[in-house]
Amino acid sequence: MAQGTQFRTTRPHMLKESKVYQTQTLMGGLSGFESPVGLDRRDRINALRTGDIGFVHSWDINTSVDGPGTRMTVFMSGCPLRCQYCQNPDTWKMRDGQPVYLQAMIDKVARYEDLFKATGGGITFSGGESMMQAAFVSRVFRAAKEMGVHTCLDTSGFLNRNYTDEMIKDIDLCLLDVKSGDEKTYKEVTGGTLAPTIEFGKRLEAAGAKIWVRFVLVPGLTDSEENVENVAKVCEQFKGAIEHIDILPFHQLGRPKWHELRIPYPLEDKKGPSHALQDRAKAQLEAHGFVVY
């Protein structure tokens, strides 16, 4: 730890005593899954490569923002980006997840098949970054499609080429995080590059998948008029696939996890955007012909 670095501890007033806080920051465990036992490191690496196992952080059943209807949202472990506003830094390292057999995951989807069909829901893979485990996720999606269950991928698109064109065919909907409209801001926000997101959006459109774009509005970081305009220009490159854009106001609900993990939090005292700022960003995107929420 660098000299002078201090970790802050979450105090009670930082937490929101609400169901929203609980559903956004406290995810379920992995009860009900059969986990591989006795596999050595080489076996696990090979099984991960083939998609016979996946490293999972947690899962839940919800009717929130992870796609239409009632959904089983699976949070995969591992992410190559380090977003300043990350809500789940406990999913960054794949090794911190629990290995789960492919068939155990497919069986879980099958258990809720009737519920998904009755509500127009399905399975959503989130993270972390679910594209880090493309073989596992895509094989579950293939099985889900064979059941007639809707599939949704929540991703930054940063690992674009981890997904083959054949894998993309089994994605009904993608929640695509466009974290910035220009490379400089994207690098500052995430540590990564923007170009793969754009390419993945174009590939989704070519495959006939639908996209819900998600853009996190952070005052002083992603909120400039120029950056919002650039986000619109990015989205125009795969506009035919986009059903709507969600502007997600920055919040501090993830801050307790950074404190618990003793990771210095770069947005410690950052406030959420005002209603006026949200309205301005919304109007900018709408001016490009998008439906914006």
Closest by CA to 281, choosing from 180, 183, 190, 197, is 180
Residue 160 pairs in a beta bridge with none
- Alpha-carbon distance of 92 to 190, in angstroms, equals 13
Instruction: Kindly tell me the sign of the dihedral angle through the C-alpha atoms of 44, 192, 169, 145.
Output: positive
Q: What is the pLDDT of residue 13?
A: 36
Is 185 strand, coil or helix? helix
In this structure, which long-range contacts are made by residues 164-169, counting pairs with CB atoms below 8 Å and at least 24 apart in sequence?
A: 165/203, 165/207, 167/134, 167/138, 167/141, 168/203, 168/204, 168/207, 168/209, 169/207
Position 33 scores a pLDDT of: 62
User: In sequence order, which residues have a C-beta less than 8 Å from that of residue 107 and are 6 or more positions away?
Assistant: none
Phi/psi of residue 284, nearest 5 degrees: -60, -45
Summarize pLDDT for 243-261 with one digit per residue, the tens. Answer: 999 999 999 999 999 999 9
Helix axes 225-236, 275-286, angle to 10 degrees: 40
Residues 147 and 68: beta-carbon distance below 8 Å? no
- CA-to-CA separations, 273 to 16, 168, 244, 247, in angstroms, rounded: 17, 35, 20, 11
Q: CATH assignment of 12-286?
A: 3.20.20.70
Strands 173-177 and 150-155, by their bridges, are parallel
Write down the domain spans for the chain. 12-286
Residues of the chain with pLDDT under 70: 1-39
Structure confidence by residue, pLDDT tens digits, 31-58 = 556 556 566 778 878 888 999 999 999 9
Q: How far apart are alpha carbons 293 and 279 in whole angstroms?
A: 10
pLDDT of residue 7: 41
Give the pLDDT score at 41.
77
Task: Give bridge partners of residue 247 from the DSSP assignment.
Answer: 215
Burial class (CB in 10 A: 0-12, 13-18, 19+), 44: middle
